[in-house]
Structure formats: C-alpha cells, structure tokens
Amino acid sequence: MIGILIFPDFQLLDASGPASVFEIARRFVPDAPKIQMVAAQTGPVRSSSGVEVVATSLRSVKTISTLVVAGGLGVEAATDCRDTLAFVKRLAKDGTRVASVCSGAYVLAAAGLLDGRKATTHWCRTQDFVSRYPRVKLDPDRIFLRDGNVWTSAGITAGIDLALAIAAEDHGEAVAKDVACQLVLYHRRSGGQSQFSSLLEFKTPNGRFGPLLAWVREHLDQPLNVEILADRAGLSPRHFARIFTVETGSTPSKAIERLRLEVAREHVKSSGEPIERVAETTGFRDPERMRRAFVRAFGQPPQSIRRASRDN
C-alpha cells in the first residue's frame, strides 16, 4: 500500500496530486499498490482549502511500501506530533521508501530522516528550513531529490513529478510516460525551481544581498569569486560565505552559477547569438562547461533548448 500522510490544514494538491499519479498507474498495472490517506487520527481531515479527506489512523496501518508526506499550512503542528514523527521514523527504519511534498520535508527533517542527506522543499521556505535544520544538505533549486530511500520534492505540483519518478522506478518508464500522458503532463519536467523564482527575488527580507545580486547579474562576464563578492559586500570572505549560505540556502558559487544559467537560458531561447558567445558573455567562458551546467540544471543542452523554443 502507498500511504499519503495528511494533517489538519494540509495542502490538498500535495496529497491529491501524487494520489492521482498512483491511481492512474493502477490502471496500467492492476497489481500496483493501493492508495490510503493516513493521519494521526481516523476520520475527516480538513485541508487548508476547506475540503475534507477521510483518513485512516496511523495505528491502524499495517503494511506500507511507500509513504508520501504532504505539506501545507499545518506542517508546524505536524512536526510537533509525537505519533506522526514516531510513525515516520519507524517506517524509515524498516526500509520503507519515505517521500515528502513541499513543506512536508519539515516532518522528515523533524524526524531526523534528512540529517546529512540531500533534500529540497519549496523555494520560499529555504531560509527558514536552513536555519532550523542546518544538518540537511538543502538544494533549493531541485524539483525533487532522492537520497537513498528518502525522497523530497519542491512546491506543491512538484509532488506529481516525484510520484511519476516513483512510478517509473516501480513499474518502468513506459508506464510513467503513459500516466503522464493520461494526466496531460510532461513526463520529465526540465529545469529547477529557479525557472519559477528568480534568484534576485530569492533573498532575505531585509534585502541584505539584493543589491549585490543585482550587481552580479550585470557583471556575469567577470570573475566572481568569494573574495570579490565579499569585498563588494563589505565582509571578510569567510564571514560572507557563511552568512550568504545561511540566509539564502545556497553557497556563493552555486548562486553565481544559477544566475549565469538563468541569464544564459534566456539568451539561448530569445536571441540568435552563437552558443559560444552566450557562454562568453555569461561567464561560462567555455561552451562545453556551459553545456554541462545546462544538462545538470535543465536536463538538456543549450542547443536542445533553443530548438524547442523555436518550435514553439
């Protein structure tokens, strides 16, 4: 059975999105696991939208092959629920695949499952998450991540991407593609969360690094090491690197690469500049280096993104 863990004020799509993927998968694979909503107590659980979903008590659950933890406004209370955390810990200890959608990662982190692991969550939660759980290797720009038997995904609809990946692992790529087609979705969404949330907006509320990031965006063709950035920010390199990482959830080097990727991607899509010239003006210098960065971030090289943009 696939269990989807919900709690009062959970985000409805966090639960219904993955549930729909697993439901459609059962149409193609009849012996695939059934789906069950689970919660601390049996009965209707009210989502943040007001829609109620009937759940089975955690204590009544017998066997679960995969547990998906939803996120939502009520996640704070869920992280304080001893029964919920004990349930999640027990399943993980027994080797069950455990996953989270959006802020559901807070529940996994509170249970200690993410310590030392790579994980992701909704981009707007990054600063708070990093401050609460510094032992987690958070990557705020991933749609979903897998580290061992623990999976995490980004905001809301990313739970569908995660569920499709789980379906592919359990039933094969062909089934996952059929499910995506039935749901009228991309089988594999390219890109990370930065395509939805600009790094320039991804800063602390007091705007400490806003001016610096704006300056960086205008000087991407220049060397931008920690020493240069720290001097620009009026801090020592060591202090700058630590504060920047804590407050943005990204190291300076990763932030620079994300900005370069963001700008380069727009140039590739909207201009006729040679790829070599785009690599030079955005600071990648070497086209091959930019190609590798594109494949890591977007799942495809610059030439493919340009072709797809022209086809549209």
Between CA 74 and CA 84 the distance in angstroms is 13
C-beta separation of 42 from 55 below 8 A: yes
CA triplet 306, 307, 309: central angle to 5 degrees?
A: 65
Query: Is 81 among the catalytic positions?
Result: no
Q: Annotated catalytic residue: which of 81, 102, 124, 181?
A: 102
How far from chain centre, in Å, is Cα 138?
Answer: 9
Element (H, E) at 151: strand 150-153
DSSP assignments along 115-136, one per residue? TTSEE---GGGHHHHHHH-TTS
Total-model pTM = 0.66
> pLDDT tens digits, the chain, 312 residues: what are they?
999 999 999 999 999 999 999 999 999 999 999 999 999 999 999 999 999 999 999 999 888 999 999 999 999 999 999 999 999 999 999 999 999 999 999 999 999 999 999 999 998 888 899 999 999 998 877 888 999 999 999 888 899 999 999 999 999 988 998 998 898 876 565 545 544 444 444 444 445 787 888 788 889 999 999 999 999 999 999 999 998 888 777 789 988 988 898 889 888 887 888 999 999 999 998 999 999 998 888 778 899 888 877 765
Between CA 229 and CA 91 the distance in angstroms is 44
